[in-house]
Amino acid sequence: MCALLDKTGPDAPTLCEGWRTSDLASHLVLREHRPDAAVGILGGPMARYTARAQQKLSARVPYPMLVETIRTGPPRLSLFGIPGVDGKANFAEYFVHHEDVRRGQPDWHPRDLGEGMTDAIWGLLSQARLMLRKVPVGIEFARDDIRPQADEHRAVRMTVRPRTPMVTVIGAPAELLMWTFGRTSAAAVRLDGAEADVAALKSARWGI
């Protein structure tokens, strides 16, 4: 992602509404280096304070320095510096934001992630239960990048919101992850279910 941020420069568009690449880089630096300001990232009463801190960071710190700060990883004394926490807390975050930059460019194209990365993302999707807990329908994920007959021991379906009526969201694990994180218009997924239920899901909002 840092190589892509270097290539695009600070003013490239992203999938994050209202954010250029400099804003996204500032967000990532603030998240790992400013725990006092990061508390409002998910919204709530501290959201305005977090937004102001991010704007100041973007204005005061040169873009190449922001990118280099991301590249060097989280501070050793931060929460993200605890052994094992970085990978668990940052894998989805960095994957999605990498795609936010990639898919924000007019010439972007899908990439081959490889089986290992794809299966790792599939393993993350069980956490979607938290993000999708308020949607008005049940949610099942179905991956379409492998056939059940090809490896009968690999799961291709996952229920993340067990209730009726149920809508099945179909796509490759990376696309399902992007959809879960709210990038619904940029994610290559299909929704399968009753027309009214699909419509209810399309009009719903979700998040942590």
The separation between the first and the last C-alpha atoms of the chain, rounded to the nearest angstrom, is 24
- Considering the domain architecture, whether residues 99 and 24 belong to the same structural domain is answered as yes
Taking a C-beta distance cutoff of 8 angstroms, is the pair 137, 200 a contact? yes
Domain carrying residue 72: 2-103
The structure's pTM equals: 0.90
Residue 83 located in a structural domain: yes
21 and 78 fall within a common domain:
yes
> If you count them, how many residues does the chain have?
208
Query: How many domains, in total, are found in the chain?
Result: 2
The one-letter code for the residue type at 152 is E
Domain endpoint, select from 59, 77, 103? 103
Same domain? 25 vs 95: yes
Q: Are residues 98 and 18 in the same domain?
A: yes
Distance (Å) of CA 194 to CA 54, 140, 142, 159: 42, 14, 16, 17
Dihedral of alpha carbons 101, 102, 104, 110, sign = negative
Judge whether 111 lies within some domain.
Answer: no
Where do the H-state alpha helices sit in 61-141? 63-71, 85-103, 114-124, 128-131
Q: What is the mean pLDDT of each run of 10 residues along the chain (208 residues)?
A: 96 95 95 81 81 91 96 84 80 95 93 92 93 95 79 81 97 97 95 97 89
Do 91 and 8 lie in one domain? The reply is: yes
**72 in a structural domain:** yes
